[in-house]
Structure 1
Amino acid sequence: MTFLSWLVVDDVTTAVTRAVTVLVIACPHALGLAIPLVVTLSTGLSARSGILIRNRQAFERARAVDTVVFDKTGTLTRGEFAVVETAVAPGFEEERALALAAAVESGSEHPIARAITQRAAEHSLPLPVAEDVRAIPGHGITARVDGHTVTVGRLGLLAARPEWLEAALARWEERGMTIAVLLVDEQPCAAFALADEIRPESREAVTLLHRMGIHVAMLTGDQRAVATWVARELGIDRFMAEVLPEDKQNVVRELQREGHIVAMVGDGINDAPALVAADLGIAIGAGTDVAIESADVVLVRNDPRDVVTVLELSRRSYRKMLENLGWALGYNVIAIPLAAGVLAPYGIVLAPAVGALLMSLSTVIVALNALTLRASATPSHSATTAHAH
């Protein structure tokens, strides 16, 4: 068309020059690279961050997520008991209480026993030898240690609650914590509060999601007191407690009916239906095979902050795609008419060599703009952590 138009008003040489310039400048490299280059880079960046994208369409939808629902156990928490607080009788040392309790519990595989022995190990406490270890069915375990009868077990072992323990018990029971008591020669000497310990990264993850304008919700099958405490500790907007595994997907669908774009984060087989129902299903850490197969995105690490990285990377990738498309289309809209000679009456014409240069520059600009995704790919939680230190 350009050739014929110029052939009518000018000579063959000019017509050929204009036509060749249009052909050169209209080479669709920039337009063709605008999206695939960003997709390739974002996939590589996510893999280096320990994020495996199994469903590309779902990942691209992640930019629109406005609500993230976390399963509590194993996701926001470690999924195992830990001693989080200790109370001791006046004149009794905390380290001695912990060493005695760990000595009695050292041969047990019970979750409470493992938590107490782990706590003693963290403090590098030498454990005395426990002899004549016997279980008290339904109540605890007892043994002879350093000539004393040492018993560790449920709160029901106490005939009465000592005054020094009352305030701590009230606080622990309000949080729904599991409580173990230590008796030496039938006298209460210490008590341990155990809970599914909150991951230190969870607080930062929730804070970062809030900064992004995203609502955070939590699902758990635990009792309401436990859920209330965890939600309060993390600043979570909304939580549902005592949720049966089969009801988790119903909660996700209810949020969707309210108009929310929902990301579900979980690690267990019980989370699989909810992961499928969500707009974006994220399996975290060494989750079950069923959870991983049901997820759109798999986080290799047990770090809730990687959820933030997924959403940020999706948003940045989308912006880069729009920028590249805008540049490629804008370039074609302006450069092709110039190459065709619409401004020739004003003395503005493009030679084929200039057209080739502009075409190359447009491709380079699209590539460089896509590469800025890598420059801005440092997770925001790294900066926050560094600032905190």
Structure 2
Amino acid sequence: MPGYEKSGHETSGHDAHAGHDMSGHGGHGDHVGQFRRLFWIMLVLAVPTVALNPMFAMLLGYDLPDATWASWVSPVLGTVIYLWGGRPFLSGAVSELRSRKPGMMTLISLAITVAFVSSLGASLGLLAHELDVWWELALLVVIMLLGHWLEMRSLAQTASALDSLAALLPDEAARVAEDGTVTTVAPTDLRVGDLVVVRPGGRVPADGEVASGSADVDESMITGESRPVRRTVGDAVVAGTVATDDALRVRITAVGEDTALAGIQRLVADAQASSTKTQRLADRAAGWLFWYALGAAALTIALWLVFGTPEQALIRAITVLVIACPHALGLAIPLVVSLSTERAAKAGVLVKDRLALERMRTVDTVLFDKTGTLTAGEPVVAHLATAGGTTEDELLALAAAAEADSQHPLARAIVDRAAEREIEVPQATGFRSLTAVGVEATVPTPQGARRVAVGGPALLRERGLDPLPDADAWAHDGATVLHVVVSPEPGPGPHDDEHGHEHGHAAGEVVGAFALADAIRPESREAVDALHRRGIKVVMITGDAEPVARAVGRELGIDQVFAGVRPEDKDAKVAELQHDGRVVAMVGDGVNDAPALAQADVGIAIGAGTDVAIASAGVILASSDPRAVLSIIELSHASYRKMQQNLWWAAGYNIAAVPLAAGVLAPVGFVMPMAVGAILMSASTVIVALNAQLLRRTDLDPAHLASR
């Protein structure tokens, strides 16, 4: 508002699973059904293969039919099981060897190939009949397929964040033509500038601006906030959100890949494709385990050839190779990070960089940008004072009437306060904006028409009036102070001077004053207190002058305040904290904070639900709730715990189980059967998958976390 002076100013695949694809290309979602079907088919084939296998019959002590055909059931069906059921593992091994990264698939393929060759040789009479292990080959393939089916299903479930986001778009949109007729079109046919009707209960088909109507809009799928938000003319609405009670007409502003929903989908996809330090450690561990298993198998063969028989040596070596498969290890980290990404997206936390999520658990300092983050970025009436017998309602009615035709944010704040208190505002006439002074209008009152002026210090200086006693204290706290001056309606005769000021009327009387300040979000204090309880230092940075920053910092209990900082200098303040040994998470609105977000150990863009493509932030909060920072911290700790648990279980299990498979306890009479080794290996995978699924129970509700 011209003339409103302010105290201070605002400067403005996972590699280990490459072979999970039925063709060796590494897909997840569409292969769940194929793995499921393959498992059941192989299970059906495995029953006669095992039941009619001489070695299995001898093991359990039952007799087989004497017919010649019975002796060929196991070799024939076993070959089918190896070539058909083992194809995903064999093709995966080829991919690993081509990339010179032998791992899990190579180990599985080696185990089933050795079992196949030895069994085929025994069936053809080329090797000793003890090496006829068709039944173990069949069980191994079936068990491995079961493990992979369960894993594929889990990994496919992690993609549900993307699927659910895509499902938010309606199948059709109601487009309004220039002649007013409404036609049904696909959302993909919409263009920027089109007008669409969103009926009650309907979804917004593309990003846009409300052209007419007002409705409570459910934005929970985008922001994570459960309460519907009132949207009216001029407000932005996002594709996929729901008009819950009334119809809206929306002017489309973005379509297709430019919408917020598409941006969120890209972020989730990028995050699920990115890797973490822990995941890279797991990948390296899987590679080490391959050589560990290969060395253990070679040593097993050598020792059993010396102390046992060639048949025992081969069986033990196959068991070592089976039980050493780093299957659980390969699944330990990817499944955790995929689930955490999905869980975060459902809570309105969009993880763009998994490393940022991983680092968040080590953060000891959170640096908040003030405007738009801790505060709403919009002025509100913080205080008001009256004089000359005027009541607060009368003061608000006079000021709101004078400001009604102004679009300045300070004017809007006064008008909104009057509306909140349901005060009847008279219709003013003769509105004028007085350059460098304020506004003035003629307002009808019970005493007759009065000229009402609302303005800053320049208005009082021009008219020779004194400010109210409270004004100095308000200004000292950084508030913008506006006084309301009422004077009689001037009669005919006087003319405006070159500045637009009237001569010949009384200076008027000050009837009240307003203190307007940037509204502090009610959640900000809860966020600061909760961070303090977690032992995290809270710092605020702003371009505001010292008094404004100090007042906000004092009200919120901020530990340290950087005031008067230009946007281009914010990154230097982040570096200053880092130089002091702090691990810093920077929380900003993503508009002027890009350098600081990039400099911070973790950059968090807040309130970016309609602008998610912020390259400098590692984490983006779809809501404007600063408490959502607690959700990131909680998720970071929960994810790290699951990663550690899975890594220790997977790696520790393999390291301990390999000696047992090799027969280290043979001197005391215990030799692990190969089938038991296969069962234990698959059980390890299932345990890791189930442990990761517990992440779905993590409470990421900012309100709950702030109260703890």
Please give the TM-score of this superposition, normalised by the length of structure 1: 0.91
Q: Could you tell me which residue of structure 2 aligns to residue 28 of structure 1?
A: 326
1:107-256 map, 5 Å: 107-146=405-444, 147-158=449-460, 159-161=464-466, 165-166=468-469, 168-185=470-487, 186-256=508-578
2:556 aligned partner, one-letter code: L
- The verdict on how the C-alpha distance between 1:129 and 1:238 changes in structure 2, with shifts beyond 3 A counting, is same
Instruction: Give the counterpart of 1:43 among 304, 316, 341.
Output: 341
Q: Could you tell me which residue of structure 2 aligns to residue 319 of structure 1?
A: 641
1:312 aligned partner, one-letter code: E
Alpha-carbon displacement from aligned partner over 1:246-304 (angstroms, at most 9, x marks no partner): 21111111111112222212125431111122222222223896981222222221121
CA offset at residue 12 of structure 1? 4.3
> What is the DSSP-based 3-state SS (H/G/I as helix, E as strand, rest coil) of the residue aligned with 1:148?
strand
Structure 1 runs of 4+ aligned residues shifted over 3 Å read: 11-17, 155-162, 286-291
Residues in 2 aligned to 1:81 and 1:64: alpha-carbon distance in whole angstroms: 35
2:341 aligned partner, one-letter code: T
Q: Could you tell me which residue of structure 1 aligns to residue 597 of structure 2?
A: 275
Alpha carbons 1:265, 1:282 under 8 Å: kept: yes
Q: Could you tell me which residue of structure 1 aligns to residue 387 of structure 2?
A: 89
Residues in 2 aligned to 1:384 and 1:282: alpha-carbon distance in whole angstroms: 18
CA offset at residue 90 of structure 1? 6.8
Does residue 366 in structure 1 map to residue 664 in structure 2? no
Residues in 1 aligned to 2:408 and 2:578: alpha-carbon distance in whole angstroms: 40
Instruction: Give the counterpart of 1:344 among 641, 666, 670.
Output: 666
Q: Which stretch shifts more, 351-360 or 218-227?
A: 351-360
Residues in 2 aligned to 1:290 and 1:373: alpha-carbon distance in whole angstroms: 25
Alpha carbons 2:381, 2:516 under 8 Å: kept: yes
CA offset at residue 160 of structure 1? 5.0
Residues in 1 aligned to 2:333 and 2:324: alpha-carbon distance in whole angstroms: 18
Alpha-carbon displacement from aligned partner over 1:74-113 (angstroms, at most 9, x marks no partner): 1111111111222223743222211221111010112211
Residues in 2 aligned to 1:170 and 1:136: alpha-carbon distance in whole angstroms: 24
1:364 aligned partner, one-letter code: V
Alpha-carbon displacement from aligned partner over 1:17-75 (angstroms, at most 9, x marks no partner): 43333222212111111111111111111221222222222332222222111111111
CA offset at residue 383 of structure 1? 1.4
Residues in 2 aligned to 1:11 and 1:230: alpha-carbon distance in whole angstroms: 81
> What is the DSSP-based 3-state SS (H/G/I as helix, E as strand, rest coil) of the residue aligned with 2:543?
coil
Paired residue total: 383
> What is the DSSP-based 3-state SS (H/G/I as helix, E as strand, rest coil) of the residue aligned with 1:295?
coil
1:19 aligned partner, one-letter code: A
2:482 aligned partner, one-letter code: A
CA offset at residue 13 of structure 1? 4.5
Q: Could you tell me which residue of structure 2 aligns to residue 382 of structure 1?
A: 703
Identity %: 56
CA offset at residue 128 of structure 1? 0.5
Instruction: Give the counterpart of 1:68 among 337, 351, 366.
Output: 366
Q: How much is the aligned-residue C-alpha RMSD, in angstroms?
A: 2.3
2:441 aligned partner, one-letter code: A
Q: Which has the higher contact order (CA 8 A, sep 6+)?
A: 1
CA offset at residue 183 of structure 1? 2.4
Alpha carbons 1:283, 1:298 under 8 Å: kept: yes
CA offset at residue 384 of structure 1? 4.8
Alpha-carbon displacement from aligned partner over 1:134-170 (angstroms, at most 9, x marks no partner): 33332222222122222211145444547xx42x324
Residues in 1 aligned to 2:610 and 2:595: alpha-carbon distance in whole angstroms: 13
Alpha carbons 1:134, 1:141 under 8 Å: kept: yes
- The verdict on how the C-alpha distance between 1:35 and 1:291 changes in structure 2, with shifts beyond 3 A counting, is closer
Alpha carbons 2:590, 2:608 under 8 Å: kept: no
Residues in 2 aligned to 1:105 and 1:193: alpha-carbon distance in whole angstroms: 15
Please give the TM-score of this superposition, normalised by the length of structure 2: 0.51
Which has the greater radius of gyration?
Answer: 2
Alpha carbons 1:267, 1:291 under 8 Å: kept: no
Residues in 1 aligned to 2:616 and 2:601: alpha-carbon distance in whole angstroms: 12
Residues in 2 aligned to 1:217 and 1:52: alpha-carbon distance in whole angstroms: 23
Residues in 2 aligned to 1:91 and 1:326: alpha-carbon distance in whole angstroms: 76
2:518 aligned partner, one-letter code: D
1:383 aligned partner, one-letter code: H
Alpha carbons 1:269, 1:291 under 8 Å: kept: no
Residues in 1 aligned to 2:578 and 2:534: alpha-carbon distance in whole angstroms: 19
Alpha carbons 2:325, 2:681 under 8 Å: kept: yes
Alpha carbons 1:282, 1:298 under 8 Å: kept: yes
> What is the DSSP-based 3-state SS (H/G/I as helix, E as strand, rest coil) of the residue aligned with 1:270?
coil
> What is the DSSP-based 3-state SS (H/G/I as helix, E as strand, rest coil) of the residue aligned with 1:293?
coil
1:223 aligned partner, one-letter code: A
2:301 aligned partner, one-letter code: F
1:153 aligned partner, one-letter code: G
Segments of 5+ residues of structure 2 without an aligned counterpart are: 1-297, 488-507
Segments of 5+ residues of structure 1 without an aligned counterpart are: none
Alpha carbons 1:324, 1:366 under 8 Å: kept: yes
1:148 aligned partner, one-letter code: R
1:379 aligned partner, one-letter code: L
